[in-house]
């Protein structure tokens, strides 16, 4: 009986390891990133908009969690992100809300958005971390970030992660994207 339980654990761990490698392997080809930048944070905080960038905010105008500026022709095509005119009062309002109301336990910061070759393609301002994917052919940028407005358990992770735990006689698995 002990051999069966051990074999079962090895099988579960193997399946999870293969799944994690598959998920991260598929995402890695177009994986971009963030590189912290004080200058980037100051640019947003002083409402300095680059004329060669288009801007989007994450979530709702009255409850934003991030602001992004992307060099043209890069763009975001995701309903959680809304484009905003950098010459509008809404732009200033969103920056102020992102700065003054960060996610619980965090602070707002600026960063460069990088493509898979580590070339700067935009700016990030938020209290969240994010996973960045860039399609070099379509120039569509996909950003995976936590959704604090719906998370009720206080977990504000981002990116891809796999956790394995046991307790209460069972096995738990948590995938975060």
Query: 176 vs 127, which has greater pLDDT?
Result: 127
Indicate if the pLDDT at residue 173 is higher than 60: no
Task: Establish how many alpha carbons lie within 13 A of residue 23's alpha carbon, considering only the half-sphere containing its beta carbon.
Answer: 13
Q: State how far the Cα of 36 lies from the Cα of 26, in Å rounded to an integer.
A: 25
Q: How confident is the model at residue 151 (pLDDT cuts 50, 70, 90)?
A: low
Q: State how far the Cα of 174 lies from the Cα of 32, in Å rounded to an integer.
A: 24
- From residue 117, give the alpha-carbon distance in Å to each of 14, 28, 133: 32, 12, 12
Q: State how far the Cα of 83 lies from the Cα of 145, in Å rounded to an integer.
A: 17
Indicate if the pLDDT at residue 17 is higher than 60: no
Look-up: residue for tokens 């970030």? 145
Q: Tens digits of per-residue pLDDT, 73-85?
A: 999 999 999 999 9
Look-up: residue for tokens 């043209």? 72
Question: How many other CB atoms sit within 10 Å of the CB of residue 168?
Answer: 6
pLDDT of residue 175: 46
Q: Tens digits of per-residue pLDDT, 31-75?
A: 889 999 999 999 999 999 999 999 999 999 999 999 999 999 999
């Amino acid at each position: 009986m002990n051999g069966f339980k051990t074999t079962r654990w090895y099988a579960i761990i193997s399946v999870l390891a293969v799944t994690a490698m598959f998920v991260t392997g598929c995402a890695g080809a177009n994986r971009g990133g963030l590189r912290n930048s004080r200058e980037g944070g100051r640019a947003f905080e002083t409402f300095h908009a680059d004329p060669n960038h288009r801007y989007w905010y994450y979530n709702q105008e009255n409850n934003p969690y991030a602001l992004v500026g992307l060099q043209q022709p890069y763009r975001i095509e995701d309903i959680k992100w809304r484009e905003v005119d950098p010459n509008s009062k809404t732009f200033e309002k969103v920056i102020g809300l992102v700065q003054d109301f960060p996610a619980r336990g965090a602070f707002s910061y600026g960063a460069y958005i990088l493509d898979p070759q580590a070339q700067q393609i935009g700016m990030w301002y938020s209290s969240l971390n994010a996973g960045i994917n860039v399609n070099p052919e379509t120039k569509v940028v996909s950003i995976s970030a936590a959704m604090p407005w719906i998370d009720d358990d206080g977990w504000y992770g981002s990116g891809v992660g796999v956790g394995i735990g046991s307790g209460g006689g069972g096995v738990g698995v948590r995938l975060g994207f």
